[in-house]
Structure 1
Amino acid sequence: MDQIDTEILQQLQRSAKISMKELATIVHLSSPAVIERVKKLEEQGIIEGYTTKVNLKKINRSIQAIILFKSIDCKSLSNFCNAHPDVLECYRVAGEISYIVKIATYSVETLEQFIDDAMPYGTPSTNIVLSRTENSVIKPFTLE
């Protein structure tokens, strides 16, 4: 990957809907050259896909929480999380905690229900998200 590929990645992360013509203008290449570079980045697996970012508040999921689990049944907790509609992300981690689960739900009551339903799989520690920041543009790591 060169500097132009890095800039293409950054622009696509800012807006996956950017036109190839506009992207070409930004990186100072022709549209066919940019299309070819994007295609190569996709073929190499550097670009895995394109997603839509959803405003959780506008779809009635304004309560977000990070729940840490000391799991007694990792496989069952993983299956429960994968099937639950409120779960956004689920990470199995090493250490004292075995799972970190991020959920977005409708209310404190539905958060409580999630916790109650998850209790058979481990001991939860719930942290309600008050605010968040996100680094939506990730640069490749380079050794210099």
Structure 2
Amino acid sequence: MNLKIDSFDQKILILLQQDARMSHAEIGRQVHLSQPAVSERIKRLEAAEVIRAYRAEINPKALGYQITAMIRLSTQQGRPYAQYVAACPEIIDCYTVTGEDGAVMRVLATDVEHLQRIINALNAFGSTSTAIVLTTHVAGKTIIVPAPDQNEA
């Protein structure tokens, strides 16, 4: 990371992750900077793509999604799944991973039958293994700047 993140930037990032709608004036009050200084820092963080987007956190159950599942997909050469995954609204995260599985994805479904339809569609790209999420202990955790490597002195 070429951009130097100081303690003010770190505090601004934490506040924005907790409430992306917080005004620059309020952030300034909390971090002891002027509103223009906060605005300039946020612009710099956006330009450096440290801040990539601002989003609302939606409760899936309020929209009728009763099941969250993790699906592992073991893909085979020549069976590209990326286009399908990108177009499928129920697949909300998908990661290419190392190991036996080619991808791991987080999926929302309204019920078991809905989940089965998603799994059946994914089976066209390889074999799947599904785990239904029972409890979420950590989600959307605030990202902090890592401590400097002690060997980089």
Q: TM-score, normalised to structure 2's length?
A: 0.89
Distance in 2, Cα, partners of 1:75 & 1:59: 32
What CA deviation, in whole Å up to 9, does each residue of 1:77-118 have, x standing for no partner? 222211112100111112111110110111111001111111
Distance in 2, Cα, partners of 1:38 & 1:74: 43
Corresponding residue for residue 140 of structure 1: 145
CA RMSD of aligned residues (A): 1.3
Q: Which runs of 5+ in 2 are unaligned?
A: none
CA shift in 2, pair 1:89/1:75, >3 Å: farther
Q: Which runs of 5+ in 1 are unaligned?
A: none
Residue 97 of structure 2 corresponds to residue 88 of structure 1: no
Distance in 1, Cα, partners of 2:69 & 2:141: 20
CA shift in 2, pair 1:53/1:74, >3 Å: farther
**Deviation at 1:74?**
6.4
CA shift in 2, pair 1:32/1:75, >3 Å: farther
Sequence identity percentage:
32
CA shift in 2, pair 1:4/1:140, >3 Å: same
The answer on whether the counterparts of 1:61 and 1:106 sit within 8 Å (CA) in structure 2 is: yes
Alignment of 1:41-120 (within 5 A): 41-73=45-77, 76-120=80-124
**Deviation at 1:76?**
2.6
Match of 2:130 among 100, 122, 126: 126
What CA deviation, in whole Å up to 9, does each residue of 1:106-143 have, x standing for no partner? 11110011111111211100000011122421001121
The answer on whether the counterparts of 1:76 and 1:121 sit within 8 Å (CA) in structure 2 is: yes
Distance in 2, Cα, partners of 1:30 & 1:115: 52
Distance in 2, Cα, partners of 1:73 & 1:109: 29
CA shift in 2, pair 1:12/1:112, >3 Å: same
